[in-house]
Amino acid sequence: MNRLWVRLSLMISAVLFVVFFLQFLSITFDNHEVPSQSPIFETPAEIQRRLLNFMVFSLGVGLVGGAGIAQVIVHPISKLSQAAKRLGKGELDIRVPARGSREMIELAEAFNKMAADLQQAQQSRRNLVADVSHELRTPLTVLEGNLRAVLDHVYALDESEAANLYEQTRHLIRLVNDLREISLAESGQLMLENAPTDLNALILDVMQALEPLSAEKLIRMEYEPTSPLEGGVDSVRIRQVLFNLLGNAIRHTPQEGRILIRARMEARGMTVSIQDSGDGLTPTELASVFDRFYRADKSRARETGGTGLGLSIARAIVEAHGGRIWAESDGGGRGSVFSFFIPS
């Protein structure tokens, strides 16, 4: 009774039986009104015999029809069940064909999307472990080598060497803190202290903090405050977003370049854009620029001391505010625009 085809067969048989039974009830009542000499008159025994025959016939039709219908319905469900079992065993590349009724197509597409999401999540976890291991390996190797050299009396631990070791430990601390920020944001545990904030003042404050870096490369940073530009945000977190985006723009803008910052108030929130005249991004880079540890300029990343997590953190913070962040570029060498939107 727990098999779907059995239940369908019995249901169809019951429906056919009721239909035939009602028909013969009607025949029985009609025969009572017909004279006994009528040639169409049937005795109760004949009616019962015919009723029994039709009951057997309806049961046979119900079983055959139910089995046929069940095959149409059960086959894709069985395929889906087998695929789910294989998915549970770790075969994340399993997919089921999306065909049949609209409901079965939607079910198959939902299963395939779930499997694809699980596969992507697993790949992301593997990439994260590999990336973290790679990022930790370099500063730890430097620390180990330098400390071993000091212990072996290859050279003395002077102020210059101590400063080098200190920078490596700072890089490790930044990496750990950045990973913690992303983990909190992605798990929905990043605490936001939203309050009315003047975004104009926040942008000008970040520009002033980064002015020494831009002045070193003779980069012009331009921003014309717009009024009013206020919203309920976590000023500390949004300052971090601005710092990461503007610092990224300075890092990838050549000598005597230009960075243009725009901000506007909209009906649904605030939008901030940072446009640079720097390296630009290819379509492939645009698709990955907010990924963890992604570096468009891999040769310069170590020299600048970045962890490759700045843009990922910016995305996590913006999304925690219910907003979105995106990048645009016309290609390599044509500059890029990084924008984010925060709903009001």
DSSP 145-212: HHHHHHHTTSS---HHHHHHHHHHHHHHHHHHHHHHHHHHHHTT------EEEEHHHHHHHHHHHHHH
Burial 6-29 (b: 16+ CB within 10 A, else e): eebbeebbeebbeebeeebeeeee
Q: Quick one: the chain helix, strand, coil %, rounded to 5?
A: 60, 10, 25
- CATH number of 283's domain: 3.30.565.10
pLDDT digits (tens, 9 = 90+) for 55-79: 677 667 666 766 676 666 777 777 8
Establish if 113 belongs to a structural domain: no
Splitting the chain (344 residues) into consecutive groups of 10 residues, what average pLDDT does each group show?
62 68 61 50 63 69 68 75 85 82 81 85 72 71 80 78 78 78 74 89 91 91 84 90 91 91 88 90 83 62 58 88 91 87 89
- Where does residue 72 rank: exposed (0-12), middle (13-18), buried (19+ CB within 10 A)? exposed
Which pLDDT does position 302 carry in this prediction? 46
Choosing from 39, 67, 91, the residue where a domain stops is 91
**Taking CA 223 as the corner, what is the angle to CA 219 and CA 224, rounded to the nearest 5 degrees?**
150
Establish if 101 belongs to a structural domain: no
**Can you give the pTM of this predicted structure?**
0.59
Asked whether the beta carbons of 87 and 118 are under 8 A apart, the reply is: yes
CA gap 81, 96 in Å, rounded: 10
80, 215: one domain: no
Using omega within 30 degrees of 0 as the cis cutoff, is the peptide bond preceding 212 cis? no
Establish if 100 belongs to a structural domain: no
Establish if 64 belongs to a structural domain: yes
212, 308: one domain: yes
Which pLDDT does position 301 carry in this prediction? 46
297, 164: one domain: no
pLDDT digits (tens, 9 = 90+) for 231-272: 889 998 999 899 999 998 998 899 999 999 999 888 888 999
> How many percent of the chain have pLDDT more than 90?
17
Which pLDDT does position 9 carry in this prediction? 66
DSSP-based three-state secondary structure for 342:
strand
140, 176: one domain: yes
Establish if 207 belongs to a structural domain: yes
Which pLDDT does position 312 carry in this prediction? 85
202, 181: one domain: no
Residue 208 amino acid letter:
Q
319, 337: one domain: yes
313, 284: one domain: yes
What is the tally of structural domains in the chain?
A: 3
- CATH number of 146's domain: 1.10.287
Nearest to 196 by CA among 227, 224, 229, 164: 229
Establish if 310 belongs to a structural domain: yes
CA gap 106, 19 in Å, rounded: 34
Which pLDDT does position 143 carry in this prediction? 80
Establish if 117 belongs to a structural domain: no
Establish if 131 belongs to a structural domain: yes
The packing angle between helices 159-186 and 102-151, to 10°, is: 160
208, 165: one domain: no
Which pLDDT does position 42 carry in this prediction? 57
Which pLDDT does position 276 carry in this prediction? 92
Taking CA atoms, 263 is separated from 152, 229, 270, in Å, by 57, 8, 7
Residue-number span of the structural domain to which 327 is assigned = 195-343
254, 147: one domain: no
By DSSP bridging, strand 195-198 and strand 258-265 are: unpaired
**Which residues fall within 8 angstroms of residue 7, CB to CB, at 6 or more apart?**
1, 66
HSE toward the beta carbon, residue 128, CA cutoff 13 A: 17
Choosing from 133, 158, 186, the residue where a domain stops is 186
Which pLDDT does position 306 carry in this prediction? 57
287, 245: one domain: yes
Scanning the structure block, which residue is given the tokens 């939008």? Answer: 271
**Taking CA 296 as the corner, what is the angle to CA 294 and CA 297, rounded to the nearest 5 degrees?**
120
**What is the rounded radius of gyration, in angstroms, for the C-alpha atoms of the chain?**
36
